Amino acid sequence: MRYYQFAQLVFLLFMKKVILEKKVHSKLNASINDFNNRFYDLKIKEQKACEKLINDLIQEQIEFLKERNEEVE
């Protein structure tokens, strides 16, 4: 009987450890997903800002070349 109780206790402790590890793993996964989502959003915002800057610079260059072309003519 004592061996059976000891085995039950070991099993319960093991299951508690497994449950705690799953909770920690779940929290870790949630944290990683949250970080990845925030990083992805940041990258998209930076990419849009870069695209806007590039388009603005291209437009400025086009305007400059148009003005220069008008001055030459």
Instruction: Tell me what pLDDT residue 58 has.
Output: 94
Higher pLDDT residue, 33 or 73? 33
Model confidence band, residue 1 (pLDDT cutoffs 50, 70, 90): low
Q: How many residues are given for the chain?
A: 73
Q: Per-residue b/e over 20-37, b at no fewer than 16 CB within 10 Å?
A: eeeeeeeeeeeeeeeeee
Instruction: Tell me what pLDDT residue 71 has.
Output: 76
CA distance 48 to 40: 12
Going from the C-alpha of 21 to that of each of 25, 31, 70, the distances in angstroms are: 6, 15, 72
Q: Is the dihedral of CA 25, 27, 31, 33 positive or negative?
A: positive
How does DSSP classify residue 35? H
5-44 pLDDT, tens digit each: 777 777 777 777 777 777 777 787 888 888 888 888 888 8
Whole-prediction pTM value? 0.50
H/E element holding 54?
Answer: helix 2-72
